Amino acid sequence: MHRELTIENFKCFSEKTKVKLGKITVCLGSNSVGKSSVIQACILLRQIYEQAMMFKDTQVKEYNIRLNDVYGLQLGDAEHIKSSKSSEDICLKIDGYEFILSSNSKSPMEMIVRNSYDIGKMSSDKGLFSKGFYYLNAERKGPRNYQTIDSKLVDNCGVYGENTVHLLSVLGTRKVEDLRCFSMDKGKKVNTFGKQVEYWMDYVIPGIEINADDMTDLRISRMSLRQSALDTGFLSPYNFGFGISYVLPIILTGLMAESGSVFLVENPEAHLHPKGQSHIGYFLANMALVGVQVIVETHSEHVLNGIRIAALKNAMKPEDISVNFFSVDSNGRNTNHKVENIGLNERMDLETWPEGFLDQEEEDLRTLRELRRR
């Protein structure tokens, strides 16, 4: 499991900035303060490893790293993502592995990196260097009757959830690891992917049944949904809004992700009711407990509270959860982006509460009280 990510001269982080990692890491803060940069740094590190694997039996130790169109990256030109004019290189470090990314004069949308580490040792450390790697972009696929079946072997839901229906169809009757199975209802004990996805989905969005099947002759996967409270058959996903389509790849990825790997997920709360947001936080914490290192970017206090509930219920240690608050300090002409790690005690109470940290409800209520006094 990775313990610390260090970023320097990348996007808003001009100075060396450390992000503490846990079994589940939560990145919180307002817009444009660096949360997405953490996810993107992890993706660049993953790409470095994949290049190292590609050339592992050769003498090639220097690789070109693409800044666009890999795992959904859209970083543009290398010069646009450097935050310090005094430094030419970007430095990314994960635990003891440090990489320097330099501009490529022949290809401005790529960067050059040299790897001096043993690829076998990297692979044995797992995490971002595991066989499996899972990332779900904030902009996931909305309701679709059909998804195209990719011609290559599919072993993840895709960056945008574009492989979810096909993968669910393939995995449907296979067994889910016992520790990942839904355990809050003794009547829900079938341990196949098809049923476990349905159980967890019902926990997040109550009353939903899912039917997924492949039409291989047309190279498409088809999904239909039914709500148990309604006297209807299975209907088009378009009748059920965005929440189901956005959360389904999160559930399936959590259930299937390789132990020891990393699962990056942006905005798991998107299109969910607050109760559903709390429950998806609970689900992600449960997957972290069984060995999938989860890194979450979120704006939702409900997701964080769901994680804290799971921690108390399942006796997680405070150090298993890393809560990082991203903010900006403006001092005259100088703007400093900072990351503050917020500790948790044994009761899963937050030990500090910085200004601007999940306090908008309190601010709004104060404003309402002041307006009512007029």
Assess if residue 95 is contained within a domain: yes
**What does pLDDT average to in each consecutive run of 10 residues of the chain (374 residues)?**
96 94 96 93 97 93 95 94 84 97 94 95 95 95 88 84 93 95 93 96 91 87 83 81 93 97 97 96 97 96 96 95 91 76 94 86 83 86
- 140 in the same domain as 117: no
Task: Work out the number of other CB atoms within 10 angstroms of the CB of residue 57.
Answer: 8
Q: Could you tell me which of 101, 81, 138 has the C-alpha nearest to residue 296?
A: 138
For residue range 13-61, list pLDDT tens digits in order: 999 999 999 999 999 998 889 999 999 999 999 999 999 999 998 999 9
- 238 in the same domain as 147: yes
- 250 in the same domain as 149: yes
pLDDT at 226: 87
Distances (CA, A) of 198 to 192, 226, 227, 241, 256: 10, 11, 12, 17, 14
- 37 in the same domain as 73: yes
- 99 in the same domain as 151: no
- 147 in the same domain as 107: no
Assess if residue 348 is contained within a domain: yes
Q: Give how many domains the chain has, as a whole number.
A: 2
pLDDT at 332: 55
Assess if residue 320 is contained within a domain: yes
Assess if residue 358 is contained within a domain: yes
The domain spanning residue 299 has which CATH number?
A: 3.40.50
Query: Which of 224, 256, 288 delimits the end of a domain?
Result: 256
pLDDT at 181: 96
Q: What is the DSSP string of 186-210?
A: TT----BHHHHHHHHHHHHSTTEEE
- 123 in the same domain as 102: yes
Which range marks the domain in which residue 249 is found? 133-256
**Distance (Å, whole) CA 27 – CA 10:** 17
- 150 in the same domain as 90: no
- 48 in the same domain as 35: yes
> Given 3-state DSSP classes, what are the helix, strand and coil percentages for the chain, each rounded to the nearest 5?
30, 25, 40
- 308 in the same domain as 247: no
Assess if residue 273 is contained within a domain: no
Assess if residue 373 is contained within a domain: yes
pLDDT at 193: 96
Assess if residue 267 is contained within a domain: no
- 247 in the same domain as 288: no
- 291 in the same domain as 167: no
Assess if residue 83 is contained within a domain: yes
pLDDT at 151: 67
Q: What is the DSSP string of 243-284?
A: HHHHHHHHHHHHHHPPTTBEEEEE-TTTT--HHHHHHHHHHH
